[in-house]
A and B are shown apart, each in its own frame.
Chain A
Amino acid sequence: MTEKQKSICDEKTFKLIFDTHSEVILNFIYYKCGNMNQAEDITQDAFIKLWKNCKNVLFEKAKSFVMKVAQNAFFNEFEHKKVILKYNQKSLSSIQYEYSPDFLLEEKEFMKKLQLSISELPQKQREVFLLSRKDKKTYKEIAEIIGLTQKAVERRMHLALQELREKLGHSI
């Protein structure tokens, strides 16, 4: 079966779409609002809407359909919290040996600063930065998700890194 003939109304296909795209949608909304429960609700509703419209949405448009619905839902709800990612301390030492230069703060301090700096990034830069670094999306993929040109995404990424350097640089 070619992809074109796949119907979203088929539960297997629907599950496939969910498995492929739900994580990045969840994370994307999370990067915007900083509230995973809210991101879950929004994602859930978006997929329900997709199911309801399964006859009218082509398989290859499914992803952008869900993205769009989720983003609209996000715009409608205005409860934004700080996006603070959890710091996984177990793998701490990986920095220490390879990268930690003398002038850096202790890792713990540094990580705290990093968390804060990410949370303080403008939302538009943060979502690009995290989609790229945490979700391993290419700039092209991010451009599709956000609905921007790849160039614009790269610019935001550049700015995000600069901003982070600025913030963390002061602490040295």
Chain B
Amino acid sequence: MLIKSLVSVFLAAILTENYVLCKFLGICPFLGVSKKLNTAVGMSVAVTFVMVLATAVTFPIYTYLLVPNDLAYLQTIVFILIIAGLVQLVEIVLKKYIPSLYQSLGVYLPLITTNCAILGVTMLVLQKVETTTAFTYTFGHALVNSLGAGIGFLVAMVMFAGVRSRIESADIPKSLQGLPITLIAASLVALSFLGFSGFVDKLIPLA
């Protein structure tokens, strides 16, 4: 049951609840950094890493520090400061101990503090704790959800980088060049993800 629910949470985060294409979180990097495949992958890996780390820190702080002290209304301000501090910390640690990884991921880190997908995932997993009825939503589920959200981001970015490389060589009306055609392409990619709705519930029936 536990494994089943973990798999279901993971697949749902990637396919049916894709953060970029179904929830509109992290649109800026999705449109801005998806032009080249290697930058798209680098950004997504950095986002995934920070997402999991941020959830691992904010989830216990919220449940064991803020809620028992009646401070749940401070969620927004506490979470954004934790994420900002965490990103700085990761940057410093990577720079000092793993310079090769810093070379490839470090450049994306300053951008991640103000990425709404990170703050969004840390808040949404806490909402899920209250709204999920089919099984008890634990810390493990929250981590798996964040990992899935990050991988969903990666999938969307990689798919979209491929689509954009095809657009580059197309003949597009002048007013639609640049951003408009990118958004219309994103619309079609999002349309394909609508096909997954109900997929995970059918595949892994819970309850």
A binds B: no
